[in-house]
Structures are given as C-alpha cells and as structure tokens.
Structure 1
Amino acid sequence: MQPSERDEIRDLLKRTAVALKEGDVPFALCGGYAAWVRGAPEPDHDADFLVPEAEAERAAKVLAAAGLRVEEPAEDWLVKVVGGGSFVDVLWRTCGHPVESDLIDRSEVLPVLSVRMPVLLATDIVVTKLMALDEHYCDFSRLLPVARALREQIDWAEVRREVAGNDFAVVFLDLLERLRVLPGADGS
C-alpha cells in the first residue's frame, strides 16, 4: 500500500523533529501543524519548524547528517527537508524578521504524533500567521478555522499589539470581532 501524502508529511515532520532534538538544535513546530496540535483542523500541505537564525547553518547540517534530504531553495530564509513528494520547511526568518531564541524558548513541549517536541504557543502561532498577510497573500479562509479552534488559548490583546502595524491582520481581527469569534477591543 502506498502511503498518502498526509502520512508522508507526518513521517517527515517526526523525522525532522527527532533529528533536531538529537542534534540539540533549538526549534519549535509552527504553522498549520502547530495549530493542529492545539486543536485546529489538520493542514493539507507542508509542515514548518522554526530555528533561531543563529542556528540555521547547524540545523541544516544536523538534518543532513541524520540522513534527511535537505534542499536549499532560492529563498534565503529556509531549507526544505524533502521526502517523496512532501517537504518540511525549516525557517530561521518569519515575515522578514529573524527568529529569536525567545520565541523558541516560550514554546511548550507537547506530544506530536507520538514524538514530544516544542510547539509554538497559540498566541505566537496566530501572530506569525497574521503577520504573513500582505497584498500578495491575504487568504482569510485558512486563518478563520485556526482562530475559531484556538480562540480560548490566545492572548488576543497581545495579538492586537503585535500585529497593529499590519493592516491586513488588523482587518482580520475586526472580522473576528464582527463574527463574535473574539472579544471586542474593549475586552468584552
């Protein structure tokens, strides 16, 4: 029986996390799979990990030494771990900003597909997803189920502060208020 693409991504996610753990590289699961671990719908595309920018080169070496196929795309802020037709992104910059150790340090170790690994906090997941919104990518349909599923786990006041400079993110928060997914600006 041929494994499904989802099985392939899940396997690659686990193998990447184990390699980073064994290589003592600080990291955290982020993106759609981090949201899934916290209760959102499972994504139908790649998995993502963050590493501090200072650890980027070492992370790539650790992954390759673990026997994983590592590719360097044209973007200068990530590597891809490839397996079959699937891939996992290992990023050291998000939304144009270097990943700092404090983002990784405040993640929570959770079981993910039977592997314990650091997972971004729900607030950080939503902030990174919202900060990726711009005139070239503004797909609220992927964000709405995440916001609904994680709403009780999120510090919405912190999200508002962090995304205040991104008009696309602010509009999404306004939409969430209108849909009564989150409290109004007054906290009610």
Structure 2
Amino acid sequence: MTSAERDEVRELLKRTAVALKQDGVPFALCGGYAAWARGAPEPEHDADFLVPEADAERAAKALADAGLEVADPAEDWLLKVVGEHTFVDVLWRTCGHPVEGDLLDRAEELPVLSVIMPVLGATDIVVTKLMALDEHYCDFARLLPVARALREQVDWPRVRRDVATNDFAVVFLQLLDRLGVAPAQE
C-alpha cells in the first residue's frame, strides 16, 4: 500500500465512522484497523466496520447522505465505501454469522485517528480473525503480529472455546502456545 493509499483508507475510515455515529447506526471498527487501534501493526489493506444486519440499509443511506460513494458488491453481506484507490467494508455478517448486538455491545469507545468510535474488543478481534481461516485463506504470517501485540488484552480461554470448531484456528493457537504468545495453560 502506498502512502497516498494509506492516507485515503484512513480518511475513509474516519468519514465512515463519523457518518454512522451522526446517524445513530450501531457499529464497531473491526479487523486490522481495530487491532491497530489496540496496538497491533497497521494493516496493508482496507478498513472494516460491523453493523447489525437490520441496520444495513440505514447504514448505506447514512454513508451516502454524508457524501460517500457506496457500492453494493455481489456479496450479500457487505457494502463498500469507495475511494479513488481504496475502500472500506461495512459488514453485517462475519464468518458466516450475522452481526449480533452483543458483539457490538462489547466494543469499547477508543480514539482512532482523532475520532472517538466503538472498536471491537481484542478477544473478539482475534476470534473473528481466526474464524475466517479456512483452506482458501490460512495466512498465519498476518495473524502472528496481531496476536503478539494484543496478547495481554485477549481472553485466551474464551478464544479457544469460540474457535474450537475451526481446525485452522486450533492449529494457530497451538503455534501461539509453542511460541509462548498464548500458553494453553494460563
């Protein structure tokens, strides 16, 4: 990602959060930028937000009313706020499951690029990232710096329970145990 693209993602992230806040749409920053807000390395791709499925149309309208370009991709679980070279995803399903109010309720208000916004908790960030692992996407190299940076903020026993059905996630947790990042016996 170039410096200009990074600046554009950051600007879209701020404008998206402000538009959702101003319209009262429940949301939380998630993914790589949520991890970054909590101390992980800055991601090299788009930013992501979660909204409840029931508020997806309202979110799209709030973003369009704020002057943002909103694209409706083929996937039926997200929309995109489009910039010149980058975008921000607004998702109402994550890992095949609808975004529920309790997930958003656990988010914490944090300053991100000078905008106070709800940011997914570290445990939920790790769970959603691990549950996205499958035979088509299994990039431990991107996850390891996040896990290391967030390790003291994460409820590892809860992560283990929540991802127990995903073999790729379980193997990643075994790697974290062997590296001493998240010992299985805490």
For normalisation by structure 1, the TM-score amounts to: 0.97
1:71 Cα deviation after fit:
0.1
1:126 aligned partner: 126
Aligned counterparts, 1:8-19, within 5 A: 8-19=8-19
AA aligned to 1:62 is A
Matched, 1:168 2:162: no
For residues 83-107 of structure 1, give each alpha carbon's deviation from its aligned partner in whole angstroms, at most 9, with x where no partner exists.
1111000000001000001101110
Letter in structure 2 aligned against 1:71:
A
The Cα shift of 1:3 comes to 6.6
2-structure distance, mates of 1:163, 1:33: 21
Match of 1:155 in 2: 155
Which whole-Å CA distance do the structure 2 matches of 1:133 and 1:76 have between them?
20
What is the identity, as a one-letter code, of the residue corresponding to 1:129? Answer: K
Letter in 2 for 1:80: K
Where 1:4 maps in the other structure, the secondary structure is helix
- Aligned-residue sequence identity (percent) comes to 79
Structure 1 distance, partners of 2:25, 2:3, is 29
The answer as to 2:51 corresponding to 1:51 is yes
SS in 2 for 1:145: helix
- Aligned-pair distance for 1:13? 0.2
1:141 aligns to 2:137 (yes or no): no
Q: Deviations over 1:42-85 (max 9, x none)?
A: 00110000001111111111111111000011100000000111
Q: Give 1:109's aligned residue.
A: 109
CA distance in 1, matches of 2:142, 2:57: 31
Give the Cα separation in 1 of the matches to 2:169 and 2:44: 23
> What is the alpha-carbon distance in structure 2 between the residues aligned to residue 183 and residue 138 of structure 1?
21
- CA distance in 2 between counterparts of 1:25 and 1:160 reads 31
Q: What TM-score does the superposition give when structure 2 sets the normalisation length?
A: 0.98
Secondary structure of the 2:81 match is strand
**Poorly superposed stretches of 4+, deviation over 4 Å:** none
1:125 and 1:3 map into 2 onto residues whose CA distance is 25
Letter in 2 for 1:164: A
Extract unaligned runs of 5+ from structure 2: none
